[in-house]
Structures are given as C-alpha cells and as structure tokens.
Amino acid sequence: MEIRAAEVRDVDSALAFHDAIAPYLVITRTNLNGRLTAPPSPGHATFAAVDGAEVVGWGSTALTSGSDPLAGEVRILVRPDVRGRGLGTELLDAAHAELRKAGATSVRVFAEPSSADWAARWGYAQTRQVHYAGIDPRKAPDLLGLPTGIELVAMNQADPRKLHAANEVAQRTKPGDAKIVSQPYDEWVQEVWASPASVLDLSVVAMLDDEIIGFTYGIGDRTRIWSKMTSTMPEYRGRGLAKLVKAAALHRAAAAGVQNCYTANYDGNAPMLAVNEWLGYYRVATHSVLVCPL
C-alpha cells in the first residue's frame, strides 16, 4: 500500500470508498473533481492511501475560513479492514505538516469516538460531540405560514454582497472551537457563490424589506445535499425562521429529485437540534470533536 497526493484518477475509487464508510459526509464527484483540480492553496491538501488502484484511506486538510488565530481542519478515514497498519498515522502526519507549513496554530478533527485515544497520542483532546443526521426530503413537513412581510427566495436570487454580510454575522455567532473573525468577500465568492459544489438554487434565503434575515446553504448534487450552514440574524432569532428556510430548502430538494439530505450539529446547539428534530431528521452517526495545538 502507498500513501501519496490524491489525483483525479482516484475519484471513482474515492467515491466508492466514502459511500461505503461515511455516505452522510456527502462526498460527490463535483466536490472531489473541484478539490483535486483547484490551483494549489496553502493549507489545502488531499492524500490517498491506495492498494494498487483502490483507495483504502483518505486524508484532507483545510484552513478554517476567517479564523484568527489561524486554525486548521483535517479529516482522516481508513477502511476498517486495513486499520492497524499505520495508514492513519501516515495520513495524519502528512496533514499536520501541510497545516504547519500554512501557519495554522491548531487543528480540529471530527472522528469516531473509538479513535479518541489514538488521536490523543498527537495531543488531541475532545471538546464536544457532533451529531450527523439525515432525512428523505420528500418526508419534510409542510411549510408553516410566512410571517407578514417575509419572503423566501432561492439563494441565487439574493444579492451576493448582502449574503456575504449575513454570513459574516452567522460565522461569528455560531458555536464552534475556532474563533471566526472575517472572510474577505472575494475569497467567499470563490468558496461559496461561484463554487460548483454549491446548490444555490436549492438553498433558501429569508428576506424582510430587501434585507437578509436568515438563510440555509447547501452543497452537493442532484441526489444528495449537505446542509452546510443555517443561520438567523441575531435580532430575528426565536421566531421560527430556521424552520421556515430549512423546510423550504427540503421541499426544493425533493422537487429537484434529491433523495437524501444530511447535516451535522454540535451537541450544545440545542436550538438547531430541535429544529432538525421537528423537520424529521434522524441521527446517523456521532463523532467526537478533537482539537490539537500545532
């Protein structure tokens, strides 16, 4: 078995690998092709553990957008039948080296609870848990009545400048371990607005007097969607807007032929966990959130 930088030729095997181990992560062909053909960027790397032409392990790194101090993210997956042979160690060492080179001062990983002791060897400590949940969008509840003056529109119909401003607020006020300060508009456009992985037509924005007061944003394809971020502006929270935008997005997904939608929430995020329970999401996995200084 060999560990090397992942390549486009690995995509088919990588898709089968992810679908077999963790389909709820919504790793799509568009996502992988985009990642593997993107221009080199500090802190962003993808590694494959291969047995011949077959992917048996995968590692990816990224920098947390807008974090200060600079934080890194890593995901390591190894097929269960080849664990215990050092592949995870090699993938994690390569990931750490990439993030250190980019200037990250800490790294976060979501991992199966059984991996926590193994990760502790590198200095990882658990901060919380994250719960993954899924739903068949065709089973989403009916939309609630819209409050007076509020309009729901597809995200691609919104003003990207206003959406970026709303996302800045959302990132700074969401639960998490990285301190989010700000993400430049041009970087956000590349990562969200112009990303081929984004499903802006199936994402939903709540508008009031031409201002964005809430939104839900998804990535994926026409079979599976990952709900990456849902937020209500602080002054409008507690009015059921998260239910509205998420239910509307699920209805759009169902109409587009999407078969499965997934999301994840920290265990301390009681309001969003309650929203997802009301929508009918069912829990599919729970991971430990581990953070390590670099």
Put simply, whether the predicted model's pTM sits higher than 0.85 gets the answer yes
CA distance 115 to 60: 17
Q: Which helix (H) or strand (E) holds 254?
A: helix 241-255
Question: Poorest-confidence range of 38-52, 176-190, 245-259?
Answer: 176-190
145: CB partners within 8 A, 6+ apart: none
Closest alpha carbon to 139 in 223, 250, 219, 256 = 250
* pLDDT given at position 180: 80
On average, the pLDDT of the chain sits at 95
Q: What is the mean pLDDT of residues 16-27?
A: 96
Whole-number pLDDT of residue 143: 85
Could you please report the per-residue DSSP string of 12-65?
HHHHHHHHHH-GGG---HHHHHHHHHSPPBTTBEEEEEEETTEEEEEEEEEE-T
Residues 77-104, mean pLDDT to the nearest whole number: 96
Instruction: Name the amino acid, one letter, at 168.
Output: E
What is the structure's pLDDT at 173?
86
- Which of 162, 98, 123, 131 lies closest to 286, judged by CA? 131
- Res. 174: pLDDT tops 90: no
Q: Are 203 and 218 in contact (CB under 8 A)?
A: yes
Give the per-residue pLDDT at 65: 86
Specify the pLDDT at position 222: 87
The CA distance from 60 to 73, in Å, is 8
Q: State how far the Cα of 266 lies from the Cα of 287, in Å rounded to an integer.
A: 10
The pLDDT tens digits for 177-217 are 767 878 899 999 999 999 999 999 999 999 999 999 999 99
In the predicted model, is pLDDT for residue 121 greater than 90?
yes
Instruction: Enter the DSSP assignment of 202.
Output: G
Determine the average pLDDT of the residues in 65-79.
Answer: 94
pLDDT band at residue 176 using 50, 70 and 90 as cut-offs: confident
Q: How far apart are CA 34 and CA 43, in angstroms?
A: 16
Average pLDDT on 51-74 reads 95
Instruction: Give CA–CA dist 176/193, Å, rounded.
Output: 23
Q: Which long-range contacts (CB under 8 A, 24 or more apart) does 142-148 make?
A: 142/247, 143/244, 143/247, 143/248, 143/251, 144/240, 144/243, 144/244, 144/247, 146/244, 147/239
Helix axes 29-37, 11-21, angle to 10 degrees: 130
Indicate if the pLDDT at residue 144 is higher than 90. Answer: no
